[in-house]
Amino acid sequence: MFFVRVNMNDRTYQVTETPPEYRHLAGRGLTSTLVANEVPPLCHPLGPNNKLVFAAGFLSGTSAPTSARISVGAKSPLTGGIKEANAGTSWAADLAAMNIQALIIEGQPKEKGAYWGITITWEGKPKVEFFESTQYTGKVLPDVYPAMYEKYGDKISVCGVGMAAEHGYGNSGVVFNDMHKRPTRYAGRGGMGAVMASKGLKFIVLNRMGAPGMPIVDKALFEEGRKKMIDALRTHAITKPKGALNTYGTAVLINIMNEAGGLPTRNFSSGRFEGAPRIAGEAIFETNKKRKGEEIYNHACSPGCIIQCSNTIFDEKGDEITSCLEYESDWSLGADCGIDNLDDVAQLNALCNAYGLDTIETGTTIAVAMEAGVIPFGDSKGAINLVHEMGKGTPIGRILGAGAATTGRVYGVTRVPVVKGQAMPAYEPRAVKGIGITYATTTMGADHTAGYTIAPEILGVMGKQDPLSPEGKAALSRAFQATTAFIDSSGHCLFIAFAILDIASGYQGMIDEVNGVLGTSWTADDILKQGAEILKAERRFNEAAGIGKEADRMPEFMKTEPLPPHNNVFDVPDAALDSVFAEL
Amino acid sequence: MFFVRVNMNDRTYQVTETPPEYRHLAGRGLTSTLVANEVPPLCHPLGPNNKLVFAAGFLSGTSAPTSARISVGAKSPLTGGIKEANAGTSWAADLAAMNIQALIIEGQPKEKGAYWGITITWEGKPKVEFFESTQYTGKVLPDVYPAMYEKYGDKISVCGVGMAAEHGYGNSGVVFNDMHKRPTRYAGRGGMGAVMASKGLKFIVLNRMGAPGMPIVDKALFEEGRKKMIDALRTHAITKPKGALNTYGTAVLINIMNEAGGLPTRNFSSGRFEGAPRIAGEAIFETNKKRKGEEIYNHACSPGCIIQCSNTIFDEKGDEITSCLEYESDWSLGADCGIDNLDDVAQLNALCNAYGLDTIETGTTIAVAMEAGVIPFGDSKGAINLVHEMGKGTPIGRILGAGAATTGRVYGVTRVPVVKGQAMPAYEPRAVKGIGITYATTTMGADHTAGYTIAPEILGVMGKQDPLSPEGKAALSRAFQATTAFIDSSGHCLFIAFAILDIASGYQGMIDEVNGVLGTSWTADDILKQGAEILKAERRFNEAAGIGKEADRMPEFMKTEPLPPHNNVFDVPDAALDSVFAEL
């Protein structure tokens, strides 16, 4: 396996064998360890000393199901701390097929406003070539992505950044192609797009033609694990074909969270939204059925996924508005803004994808602006206009592009739902205490995927726990955070967790798959330990960047304002928050 | 002496005797200790749990020369840490005359956008009354200040906040009247104005009629100290009548710092400004002489000041443009923006005073916006327009109103001269290492007044030290910071330091004055210890607010970009920075 280092100072590159100390790292484990080891914690995130690291998971590029995740890591311009964001895309499988364990983008060109792309092809080893890309800037992504396919053929995978990144926004993602060549699969959170753009890099095009594919040391063991994983995914109610995710998508959670009183509404001022049924996964399924004249089940974002949770939203004529509308996006651009018009929510989502914005940060930021009186809650046309302003980079657009924390600061708003500068996702911490602990303590800034305790607290995965109780939740969040750090390294989508946490053979399947690829003999204990090591490396970086345990706290309003309908505050003691890392 | 606590939740108040533990604290020592003891470090600075504390110095209200300083303290919306800002004004003397040791503003009204004023009068003890003030909002300060004098008579002193504060800006000061009833004397830094406005408080009017005046325990000792102080101030070349400050004002430093290669120019990209002579103190003196037909020496900002360093800038017709244009304002709105038109700089200064903006933060922020390409460097009319936008609260105005750090973030600028979120003042740390250590390590965010090592490094006070050398500068900054914390508690203006650091009897004079007032027998050692205790209390607050030693660092560009003309970087080791507080 190779490390490919691209130097944007002078547009050169270097291919080396993977150094021994990184051999057994992949995905988030590899991006975070490299960032922690090589990036000065106090560097400017958009300056020449930050590094942008891409690493696919252990299993990416293999036939393991639902395993084409790519991790993107750097120091975040949104949080000032370490960041890993990941996406599902053929790009991950192609990077792995070319045996590139880490792609590391370094330096920064002296020319301001000039952009390049790179292609990586296989000529006995990875080969990097540069091409001018300034002509593709200042345009929405759907207008420039096709040019890459025209230029480099149909067999490629494409990574890029949009106008949000070109503006240097803390809210700007790195985008990857989906199965239909669309720029829709985002490593969305924490401003990884702006880091890439700050390096004068607009596109990374992969062509795996001739590449050897991912080596597998113990094929029999891998195959055994793969079968266990497939069985688990095909059996579990959430992940099975025509199951919850395949039918309703992640937006199946809208009604569930609303029922639980934990759907953050109108800038986190209530846990229940009266318009929830109109934007819920069930409404998407029924609307599509009506508009297309048949039941539409969801599709895969990347090759080899058997969960297939990506929906499409069709307009009244049956044309696609967006693909896909995730629960988080549906919530942030919908309920959190008081918007219940599904077509408008879908259009907002499409605009975020077109400009290269993170949907979670965008919706929560608009909601903070609504609280400030910029536009009223529920004003979907006003919200659409604001997203266009973000794309254009006008002053109001730039305020919003800097994210919810900055928007709150600029408008003097005191109810700003952020931790470490990153906006909270779609689960109210006052109604679901465990996820609040994850938001508060994860190295990432508020992030549900870092330790998704919603599984037991709401969905009853691994047995049901009372979401309103803080009891035992620090330990729960810690276990989920460590396990997740490993899953984020495996290449598997986090959604396998629903199945493998309930079905023990599925969990063993993941371990077998990874041991098969690497020739290791890791146990479940080893996996938890590795997850913990990843978290500790991230934590060390953050502490050196000035982000210590005082940053592991909820915003003040969540500790003082009771949330309807349960009228709970966030009552997890600081000592419990501190125990998450202290006892790791 | 009394504590007066005003509760803005329900517009009530409480007068108590000063609690014993606070009896020997005043000015910054009192505001910082109260904030550290009573404000939750992680509260939202604009929320109901922050407190705004006013405290005059030990000597305010006495006949000690140059002693009418008022300290304003709170958790800062600009830095997120503790803040003390002070100003010279009759308001300080009046507060002391009414024996109010601390005025503490607490709580927050439920009504958004509603404002009140308070009057404090003497009826055997301090008496507080509330009056509606919403009608005075949305207007520039020179248009509303006269209404207070019309309403409450000529004998009052007036504290207020402007439109910048009403907008919730991190860049918004608390203003006090000068000797001509003008709203011009600012506790400018760190957004204390926004904290006051967040409490629905627009004005604090003091009428000392009938009040007992400041008690002095040992009048003979006080008188002895006062004479020593007066002798020192009247002797030293910087502070004597028709000396440097009285003739040229603080802007005498423009040419001096430019010569030293330490005048930050065009957003800290050079240490030398070719237009410096046109905005220097000498140019002010000569221009005024030409326009008024006589030599104009400077005036006092507050009763009892014998240094008298406040200039007035007159236009071609001989009418006042602004009073007064300090060195820091002249530099930030001039050299740092590449502007060399004195009349335009004076107008920018007048606009900052009218809207309630801190001039240092305003100029440095506009310079960052210039670097981002919002307007070109040197565009004084464009800068004037931007300050109007700040006053109006438009999106671009709000970006700038949030300060240099936020503006840098919103525009993706990497050269942003801030520490702990506060913009650097008028001395380049790469050319003057000691002041850089003060910027980096003071609890206040970048602040020259916190430990003004310019005195020995540039002006030769206490002997001359090489400004380019980092050697011994941590100890120098530490000693200055501790001494300053005491001077900021004494009520004396920091400018007495020039005289008393060179003239030992003057230093003893300050100690005698304070011992005379309090009946204590403090020594020079006690004073340093008390200064250190104040710094430690501030530091404890900041650490609990998540601002630790990793925040005691220069921005990255100062460590990597050599500064013309000396082509130095900021080369003070982290260990030296850490030693400032570690060895306190």
Q: Where are the beta strands (DSSP E) in A375-520?
A: 418-419, 422-423
The rounded distance, in Å, linking the Cα atoms of A122 and A507 is 35
Angle, CA of B347, B351 and B356, to the nearest 5°: 150
pLDDT in tens, A10-47: 999 999 999 999 999 999 999 999 999 999 999 999 99
What are the tens digits of pLDDT across the range B250-293? 999 999 999 999 999 999 999 999 999 999 999 999 999 999 99
The per-residue pLDDT for range B320-356, each reduced to its tens digit, is: 999 989 999 999 999 999 999 999 999 999 999 999 9
How many CB atoms neighbour CB B277 within 10 A?
13
User: Whose CA is closest to B169, among B2, B6, B418, B352?
Assistant: B352
- Band (B73; pLDDT cuts 50, 70, 90): very high
Task: Calculate mean pLDDT across residues B29-38.
Answer: 98
Confidence (pLDDT) at B224: 98
Q: What is the pLDDT of residue B120?
A: 98
* pLDDT the model gives residue A404: 98
The pLDDT of A438-445, averaged and rounded, is 98
What class, spelled out in words, does domain B246-428 have in CATH? mainly alpha
Q: Could you give the percent of chain A with pLDDT greater than 90?
A: 99
From chain A, pick out residues whose CB is under 8 angstroms from the CB of B548.
546, 548, 550
Residue A480 has what pLDDT? 97
- pLDDT (0 to 100) of residue B131: 98
Are A145 and A159 a contacting pair, CB within 8 Å? no
Q: What is the pLDDT of residues B94-105, one digit of tens each?
A: 999 999 999 999
Class of domain A242-428: mainly alpha
Q: What is the mean pLDDT of residues B555-578?
A: 98
Contact yes or no for B556 and A42 at CB 8 A? yes
Give the pLDDT of residue B299: 95
Smallest CA–CA distance, residue A40 to chain B, in Å, is: 10
Instruction: Please report the pLDDT score of residue A546 as a whole number.
Output: 98
**Given A167, A394, A406, which is nearest B406 (Cβ)?**
A406
**Structure token pair of residue A361:** 């940060």
Q: How far is A541 from chain B (nearest CA, A)?
A: 12
What average pLDDT is seen over chain A?
A: 97
Give pLDDT tens digits for A379-396.
999 999 999 999 999 999
- Report the pLDDT value the prediction gives residue A541, as an integer from 0 to 100: 98
Provide the pLDDT for residue B334. Answer: 98
For chain A, the domains span 2-206, 242-428, 429-502+522-584
A44:B550 CB<8 A: no
Closest CA–CA distance from residue B466 to any residue of chain A (Å): 28
Q: Considering the entire predicted model, what is its pTM?
A: 0.97
Name the pLDDT band for A156 (thresholds 50, 70, 90).
very high
Please state whether B144 falls in left (phi above 0), alpha (psi between -120 and 50) or beta.
alpha
Q: Which residue of A has its CA nearest to B407?
A: A399
| Average predicted confidence (pLDDT) for chain B | 97
Element (H, E) at A353: helix A342-355
Is B412–A544 a contact, with Cβ atoms under 8 angstroms apart? no
Whether B47 and A414 lie within 8 Å, measured CB to CB: yes
Q: Do A409 and B402 touch (CB under 8 A)?
A: yes
Residue A394 has what pLDDT? Answer: 98
CB pairs under 8 A between A and B: 99
* CB distance B128 to B319 below 8 Å: no
CATH number for the B429-502+522-584 domain, one of 1.10.599.10, 1.10.10.10, 3.40.50.2300, 1.20.1440.230? 1.10.599.10
Give the dihedral of Cα atoms A18, A21, A24, A28; nearest 10 deg.
Answer: -90
Please enumerate in sequence order all residues whose Cβ is within 8 A of that of A112, keeping only pairs 6 or more positions apart, or say none: none
Q: What is the pLDDT of residue A474?
A: 98
pLDDT tens digit string along B104-151?
999 999 998 999 999 999 999 999 999 999 999 999 999 999 999 999
Residue in A194, A396, A548 closest to B548 by CB: A548
ipTM: 0.96
Structure confidence at residue A311 (pLDDT): 94
Tokens 């009763």 sit at which residue? B303
Look at residues A29, A30, A172 and name the one whose alpha carbon lies nearest to residue A103. A30
Mean pLDDT of A330-353: 98
> Distance from A394 to chain B by nearest Cα, in Å?
9
Q: What is the pLDDT of residue A201?
A: 98
Query: Using one digit for the tens of pLDDT, what is the confidence trace for A94-116?
Result: 999 999 999 999 999 999 899 99
- Domain B2-206 class in CATH: alpha beta
- A68-90: average pLDDT: 98
Structure confidence at residue A145 as a pLDDT band (50, 70, 90): very high
Mean per-residue pLDDT, A65-89: 98
SS3 percent helix, strand, coil of chain B, rounded to 5, is 45, 15, 40
Q: How far apart are CA A243 and CA B321, in angstroms?
A: 74
Q: What value does the mean pLDDT take over residues B73-93?
A: 98
Would you give the DSSP letter of residue A189?
G
Phi first, then psi, for residue A487 (nearest 5°) are -60, -40
* pLDDT > 90 in chain B, percent: 99
Burial of B406 (0-12, 13-18, 19+ CB in 10 A): buried
pLDDT at position B408? 98
pLDDT of residue A469: 97
